[in-house]
Amino acid sequence: MIYPRRKAEGNRSGADAGSGPDTGPANRIFFIDNLKILLATLVVLHHAAQPYGPGGWWIIPQEPSGFVDFVVLGIFMTVNASFFMGLFFMLSAYFIPASLQKKGAVLFMKDRLVKLGVPILVFMFIVFPVMGILLLGYPLFSPGHLWFVALLLVFSAAYVAYWLVKKPSLTELRDFPGTKAVLAFTGAMALLSFVVRIWWPENSWVAFNLFEPYHIVQYVMLFIAGIVAYREGWIGAIPAYTGKLWSVMAVIMVGLFPLVYFVTNGAMFSGGLTVTSLIGSFWEAFMCVSMCIALLALFKKRFNKGSPLTKALSENTYTVYLIQLPVVVFLQYLLIGVAMDSLIKFALVGSIGVLLSFALSHFVIRRLPYAKYVLG
């Protein structure tokens, strides 16, 4: 599929959210492919850290960790959670307008139902019940980490409904938003998140564990931003100054986290109508937006090249997202009771989990009969 050109940008072409039949070697956005590889890796590492740091409930028992382990993994998981799934929603949304324009509403939704709906059913009624029986003694009927896939399906359907009514133009190229506009966007994300968190603090899941309202504002806003970014040509047109500015902001926000955590006495994510929740909402919104812009600018400048390896890895990112949790849990189970520092366990589970997830996806899962119809 060929996308519009911006004089200073070149071909804005790319692949669908998976790596389906529209993908070709001559029409990929390499830096987005490479960024998706990073995000998939972060998902694996985040789940690898779950029982060893200050995470919420996990199917593997929480293991005691020293103060340093707790702090290091706590900072990693908090910074990671502030942006990585929101950026996933943004990148997934970016390819929707062209795909919808090409396929039409019926074929597009049929494709979404197969690629997103089938994995949800498989994990909710087969994979997770079996994992629950083996590890907990009772079946788990939950979407688990496929909450992202389920929400993406809901968001996609909502955009299709909007598209059918409004018939928006496919492209209307404009400059990347200025600093004031980005600040306004970030402030709106913070304030709306604060309002939602009055009733739903962190780790409050609703609708059969389908989603966590705590982050819903971020996900909706970044999904919409992805749609608009395609239409107006923003992704590949971030000015150098803007990239540097928000990269510095991202570093500052990471550095501020320990201070904010200390000032709020660890209650920055506890929700409620409190000053601490307001502070936490603003920190997370600025952490999220600055990291998203910084990574997009960095990967556009430094990692906008492809190779057979990166192409293969990017084609497996969706499948890796699907299968990585059972892989990680299996590795964590093997280390239960092993006398080893929590950080070392995290490093082992994370590194082996990443390699094993990509290997299983590439050499096994995506080669199963009919897998190409679901996984691309």
For residue 62, the model assigns a pLDDT of: 78
Q: Is 10 a residue whose pLDDT tops 60?
A: no
Sequential DSSP letters for 77-139: HHHHHHHHHHHHHHHHHHTHHHHHHHHHHHHHHHHHIIIIIHHHHHIIIIIHHHHHHHHTSS-
For the segment 19-29, the average pLDDT, to the nearest whole number, is: 46
Residue of 257, 217, 235 whose CA lies nearest to 33: 235
Return left, alpha or beta for 201; rule: phi > 0 is left, psi -120 to 50 is alpha, else beta: beta
CA dihedral in degrees (144, 145, 146, 147; nearest 10)? Answer: 80
Q: Is 133 a residue whose pLDDT tops 90?
A: yes
pLDDT, tens only, 224-265: 999 999 999 998 889 999 999 999 999 999 999 999 988 888
**Greater pLDDT, 211 or 38:** 38
Q: How far apart are CA 287 and CA 238, in angstroms?
A: 18
Q: Is 198 a residue whose pLDDT tops 70?
A: yes
Residue 121 identity: L
pLDDT, tens only, 79-91: 999 999 999 999 9
For the segment 275-294, the average pLDDT, to the nearest whole number, is: 96
Residue of 200, 218, 204 whose CA lies nearest to 84: 218
Would strands 10-11 and 5-6 be described as parallel, antiparallel, or unpaired? antiparallel
For residue 235, the model assigns a pLDDT of: 86
For residue 164, the model assigns a pLDDT of: 95
pLDDT, tens only, 317-365: 999 999 999 999 999 999 998 888 889 999 999 999 999 999 999 999 9
Name the residue ranges covered by the structural domains of the chain.
Answer: 5-375
Coil/strand/helix, residue 206 = strand
